[in-house]
Amino acid sequence: MVNALEDKKGEDITLIEILEISSFADYFVICSGTSERMLDALADEAEQNAKKNFGLNGRIEGTPQSGWMVVDLGDIVVHIFSQEQRDYYRLEELWSQGKVLVRLH
């Protein structure tokens, strides 16, 4: 998933293991995009990559206009943000008890 988002030019990609601290997911992938069009493309890529490579059916929530899209893959939740929304919600801080497995800047 991280590689697929990086290939689509996603920025500041972080993979956090939240298995020990969450009852609804095992991993968060957090990524930023630079435009509404890019947010939409990143969400589509995450959904398609999960289906093609892992047989997971995802559900996309949110809109590019909102600046925050979520691809719910069950145990993996992909958050795709505009930089403004990412700075506002600061998920990495909220889930700081999780274990950061990958951080690409």
Domain boundaries, the chain: 2-99
- Res 105 pLDDT > 90: no
**Residue-wise over 17-48: b if at least 16 C-beta within 10 A, else e?**
bbeeebeebebbbbbbbeeeebbbbbbebbbe
- What is the pLDDT, as a whole number, of residue 78? 98
Q: What is the topology classification, in CATH, of domain 2-99?
A: Beta Polymerase; domain 2 (3.30.460)
Mean pLDDT of the region 82-92? 97
> Per residue in 8-66, pLDDT tens?
999 999 999 999 999 999 999 999 999 999 999 999 999 999 999 999 999 999 999 99
For residue 95, pLDDT beyond 90: yes
DSSP 12-59: EEEEEE-TTT-SS-SEEEEEEESSHHHHHHHHHHHHHHHHHHH-PPPE
